[in-house]
Chain A
């Protein structure tokens, strides 16, 4: 028995809290212990992290491949399972072309897996049809960040900088429930005299902490930001020297803001103008300001423009590219950041290179030893890929994702998945999506494997193996290696994570997200390394843009944006807005957390949150079953009455499948730039259930 804990990181969100895993003699092979030395969380863990080891319990997971025979999934050997997949890939490509084989990845996969999954799609399958669930997560922030700064990294500064700002505006994020250890930075901010402004349609646990809470209607964050910028101009609070010296495009952006006068913004958002004025005063009189966005403003059909509007507010007030100020995105998934940098995204190659850039293609093709012209073109985005299943894409390989629960308009996506000729799913547990598959591969998870993750700060960290996987389980890298071999590529898919990482470093070298100088040794020695880090003697880059932005001329770019209604606004038939989100004890589609007893006890099921005044109009009592009906489906969940929500809005968490699945309703109206679906605003009506109560 080894007493020394293995230093690693939590399996859940993008904060990637440091934790130790100590071996046990019990059925769960490791126990979580504190790791106070890691700077991001300094030992603190939330309930999800503290109970993380429970997912390693033998009963909770798959330990043998499953194949579908006669309509039923039955245990099978690895050879049979892999042969079936290879056979399906070959048959589909022969009958329908290479683009008829698709790959759907996830933002929880390690950098090594994400990198090799992208390489597998481009080199072995030769398909353009690859995207991942991170598209549903940070794509709008990524697009907005690139548009303004020429670079997308969740935070351009370490989280430790946040308490040193004068004012932080947190837009549509609820870290008190989604990444609780982050909240200490908000408390420290306030202890230092800094102000916290929270923008959220709900009075969340995070909003409760705020000095000022603005509660706009879902889908109107863009107008809110424009109204604040309007007031900044009207009150003479612009930083003209910064605008002149470090930005371009101000005149058009100012004009766009002036078209959104405060009283109009009040009418659009429902936020009283005096509160908007107060927000502007807090932000502008603080000396340094930060705006942090999360899924609220981003998961909209105008998510990219909304992010741009908040960035514009930062730029106009000189709050970017200087110490303790700037715009950042609170990334969601564990490796949401790294997952989007290394080739899972339909239009990208490793190192955040663009797939349609000839120089990028040439560089990566050289690392991969293939002809640049053999690399496929950019493919379609996540929802569009899922929507094409069964028609254009006939065989799908899916890893680290559960779109039956997590995709927008999920009933339709489920039907598309069912219409595939062949579906293969790699997962730890038999998720709702895996249950539809023709072949399910049981893969290692988190504590059973080594690999790097890149957290919301752009800090590359190392997840270390702390326990042996049960017999019968293989790693994703082993799966890719075996499949590549069966499909004629015996080389190029290492099963050793560090070897994969070394290749990733070369592939990313010279790209925007340059990992060339990062090694496992350096990560261990330095508590993570911030990219870009182009060489072994480069210190890494905790703070971006202090000297120049990553645009060709070094200046940040304003983007003139205008408010527009949500893809689906309330009307007579569907008069209420639905917004979706998370609860403390569950994570994403719940595939992991719903299998942890402690977490399930804390958050046993879905609900719909509504204001007592709305409930009274409907005649609905607290706890009563209530149907939520949209153009896309119907759910039935208990009503939870709270004054913490706007009376014109209801809220559902999205962690549960079936009749409680909030994503039955969510609207796949896509952002024109990021292709982000509109998870955060759609129109519904509520109905009392007959005999309910």
Chain B
């Protein structure tokens, strides 16, 4: 059957094989079909039907039923195989799967995503001293990355009074908020000086912290967790670096992710932090592409859903013969902390969090009583134009559309940047006038 179906057969449509059934792989398969690609195979190993990872915190919070987060079924033209790819044979253009099958490709796309990084906590892995990671975490300790994680946490929740979340980045904050919404007392332990320091300055982080406190999340910054305390491999608490101990029946680890590049590296493709791709999303082998969390484009591993979808959309067009190079994404980081009773807190941030020097202009509007904070940093470029280099909106996102457009377009600002922080419209939804 495979005979004659190689890339050199000009009569057959090229066969596109996608490894990874996460959001990027799913979107790619869907878009390839929409653009008329006839032969698409998706290799997915996750047990769950494809789902929207962005919604995990809301699923955990009980806002959605897990099946609500499922992505739409792929069109019937896409051949979906539940299999794990174990090796890429670039010479023969074959993907070896764990079920023994070899899948031939003309174009291969790696959408292998990322794995959570587990910090070296004492007690996390009972045979850590041997250097071999034990796959089983203690009962009550979970990463927060997949729907399976989410379900495991959910199953563990009954009886949990107090939980510790390790990591105060985007994911940790979301997880802490979700657990609080389920009625759990949550301590968020964050090693850095303030929450989300990749995205926020100290003042915005302080407002976020206050908001979380209102929702019942106790935030500890500059707080390193040293050990996971267990009894019979069941979590009972954590020990902090200063020796302080916290009781907990649940420990959620949200300390970052790492691109899954093993398959690519073993196949001899260029891998730095992620699988290196060019503007046509090609790896060092032009028949192999990569998109999403596993890909490194112009030195950036995005690790966010928005750019992953943008890459999938571009690659679908590229593989279908359109000239649609991907030149990178300049998206805002967005977070909504929605509660069942409280008004949601909206947060948008991008670029640098603080001025780099005296030449940078900072425009800030802060209203502590309303809990809003808005700031942009503007830098003069070589041609004398002012450009946005960073910003935060917290609590009032009326201008987020304008701000995002200006940031994405990397335009020289034509007016005082105040308009990026204030709306003067008469109706609530209006654009600034």
**Chain A residues proximal to chain B, CB less than 8 Å:** 197, 203, 207, 210-215, 233-234, 252, 254-256, 258-259, 261-264, 266-267, 269-275, 277-279, 560, 562, 564-565, 575, 612-614, 616-617, 643-644, 646-648
Contacts and interface: CB of A to CB of B under 8 A. Distances in A.
16 contacts: A207-B430, A212-B427, A213-B430, A234-B338, A252-B72, A269-B401, A272-B397, A274-B346, A275-B428, A277-B344, A564-B34, A565-B313, A613-B414, A644-B431, A644-B433, A648-B405
Nearest to B405: A648
A261 B429 contact: no
A644 B427 CA distance: 13
B404 A258 contact: no
B7 to A, nearest CB: 28
A159 B367 CA distance: 46
A564 B72 CA distance: 15
Interface centre among B30, B428, B433 (most CB of A within 10 A): B428
B129 to A, nearest CB: 43
A101 B332 CA distance: 55
A261 B54 contact: yes
A255 B411 contact: no
Given A272-B401, A273-B400, A560-B72, A613 B429 contact: no
Contacts of B398: 272, 274-275
A207 B399 CA distance: 18
A617 B429 contact: no
Nearest to A202: B431
A612 B334 CA distance: 28
Given A256-B72, A270-B405, A262 B336 contact: yes
Given A264-B305, A617-B412, A215 B30 contact: no
B4 interface: no
Q: Please give me the 10 A-B residue pairs with the lowest Cβ-Cβ distance, nearest first.
A: A270-B401, A263-B334, A616-B414, A255-B72, A275-B429, A212-B429, A256-B72, A643-B433, A613-B414, A215-B431
A575 B412 CA distance: 14
A266 B401 CA distance: 7
A255 B71 contact: yes
A613 B386 CA distance: 13
Nearest to B412: A617
B412 A278 contact: no
B400 A234 contact: no
Given A215-B431, A278-B429, A267 B332 contact: yes
A263 B336 contact: yes
B404 A254 contact: no
A259 B68 CA distance: 10
B414 A646 contact: no
A210 B427 contact: yes
A267 B334 contact: yes
B54 A264 contact: yes
A223 to B, nearest CB: 11
A467 to B, nearest CB: 46
Nearest to A572: B327
A273 B336 contact: yes
B55 interface: yes
B304 to A, nearest CB: 10
A562 B30 contact: yes
Contacts of B34: 562, 564
B433 A266 contact: no
A607 to B, nearest CB: 19
Given A212-B428, A258-B70, A274 B306 contact: no
Given A212-B427, A258-B55, A262-B336, A270 B433 contact: no
Nearest to A617: B414
B431 A646 contact: yes
Contacts of B359: none
Contacts of B404: 266-267, 270
Nearest to A648: B405
A233 B70 CA distance: 13
B383 interface: no
Interface residues on B, range: 35 or more
B52 interface: yes
B331 interface: yes
Given A261-B54, A267-B306, A616-B414, A203 B68 contact: no
A252 B73 contact: yes
A278 B309 CA distance: 26
Contacts of B405: 270, 646-648
Nearest to B414: A616
Nearest to B335: A263
Nearest to A216: B401
Given A234-B63, A613-B415, A616-B414, A261 B400 contact: no
A234 B336 contact: no
Nearest to B347: A263
Interface centre among B306, B401, B409, B432 (most CB of A within 10 A): B401
A214 B54 contact: no
Given A258-B52, A261-B54, A267 B331 contact: yes
Contacts of B429: 197, 210, 212-215, 271, 275, 278-279
B58 interface: yes
A98 to B, nearest CB: 32
B292 to A, nearest CB: 14
Nearest to B399: A272
B112 interface: no
B409 A648 contact: yes
B249 to A, nearest CB: 29
Contact of A575 (B30, B63, B409): B409
B156 to A, nearest CB: 24
Nearest to A262: B336
A299 B69 CA distance: 31
B79 interface: no
Contacts of A278: 428-429
B432 A643 contact: yes
Nearest to B401: A270
A612 to B, nearest CB: 8
A234 B397 CA distance: 20
A315 B80 CA distance: 31
Given A256-B72, A264-B309, A275-B428, 6 more contacts: A270-B401, A562-B30, A562-B34, A644-B431, A647-B402, A647-B405
Interface centre among A215, A254, A267 (most CB of B within 10 A): A267
B415 A616 contact: yes
Contact of A234 (B64, B309, B331, B430): B64
A646 B433 CA distance: 10
B353 interface: no
Interface in B302-361: 305-306, 309, 313, 331-332, 334-336, 338, 344, 346
A272 B63 CA distance: 21
Nearest to B333: A263
A238 B107 CA distance: 42
Interface centre among B334, B398, B425 (most CB of A within 10 A): B334
A276 to B, nearest CB: 9
B260 to A, nearest CB: 22
A213 B427 CA distance: 7
A83 B244 CA distance: 102
Contacts of A255: 70-73
Interface in B54-78: 54-55, 58, 63-64, 68-73
B306 A264 contact: yes
Nearest to A197: B429
A614 B419 CA distance: 14
Interface centre among A259, A575, A648 (most CB of B within 10 A): A259
A252 B427 CA distance: 35
Contacts of B338: 234
B397 A215 contact: no
Interface in B208-222: none
Nearest to A274: B397
A266 B400 contact: yes
B332 A258 contact: no
Contacts of A565: 313
B427 A211 contact: yes
A174 B343 CA distance: 33
B31 interface: yes
